[in-house]
Amino acid sequence: MAKERTLSIIKPDATKRNLTGKINTKFEDNGLRIVAQKRMLLTKSEAEAFYAVHKERPFYNDLVSFMISGPVVVQVLEGEDAVAKNRKIMGATNPAAAEEGTIRKEFAESVEANSVHGSDSLENAAKEINFFFSETEIVG
Ligand code: CMP
């Protein structure tokens, strides 16, 4: 296993309920390090661009509206096998299908308001990290 970096977003449903610390504890307790982090309000065009791969999906417009409905915390997580590890810590996209102990099982409200986003591959992780962070903002 290699040391990897992945992009994580704590979504508006979670920041509204003041869950940033509890979610970060899940990452840290499972061996991921938060090597960059910023709280921000996404603009509509940023949210549209970030989720451009889902442009043709029926949920795209609602997803963009949701992602700009409140603050998000964007972060870079680092560790062994970080992309897959983070997906395991998050749990399934739909919280109804997520395993016990995962972030989405414990905190998510619905398939849309599912508390966290995590990159789905190493290749997308690099693109997504680059979308939000410059190399000098990431301190490993
Ligand atoms: P995320 O991992 O950020 O990637 C795309 C997001 O679209 C997903 O989490 C959900 O928040 C949202 N979404 C809304 N409806 C659906 C759906 N039916 N299937 C998958 N993702 C959905």
The model's pLDDT over 25-79, given as tens digits with 9 standing for 90+, comes to 999 999 999 999 999 999 999 999 999 999 999 999 999 999 999 999 999 999 9
H-type alpha helices, the chain: 12-16, 20-29, 44-50, 60-67, 82-90, 103-107, 122-132
120 lines ligand 1 (CB under 6 A): no
Averaged over 90-110, what is the pLDDT?
Answer: 98
Q: Please give the distance, rounded to the nearest whole angstrom, from the Cα atom of residue 112 to the centre of ligand 1.
A: 5
Distance (Å, whole) CA 100 – CA 106: 8
List the structure tokens of 73.
Answer: 């915390």
- By the 8 A CB rule, do 125 and 134 touch? no
Taking the CA atoms of 137, 121, 51 and 111 in sequence, report the sign of the dihedral they define.
negative
Distance (Å, whole) CA 97 – CA 102: 11
Averaged over 13-22, what is the pLDDT?
Answer: 98
pLDDT of residue 24: 98
63 lines ligand 1 (CB under 6 A): yes
| Beta strands 72-80; 33-40: pairing state | antiparallel
Q: How confident is the model at residue 1 (pLDDT cuts 50, 70, 90)?
A: confident
pLDDT per position as a tens digit, 65-90:
999 999 999 999 999 999 999 999 99
Q: Please give the distance, rounded to the nearest whole angstrom, from the Cα atom of residue 93 to the centre of ligand 1.
A: 7
- By the 8 A CB rule, do 7 and 132 touch? yes
Q: Which residue's CA lies nearest to atom 19 of ligand 1?
A: 111
Beta-carbon contacts of residue 15 (< 8 Å; ≥ 6 apart): 39, 70, 71, 72, 73
pLDDT of residue 121: 98
110 lines ligand 1 (CB under 6 A): no
Over the chain, what is the mean pLDDT?
98
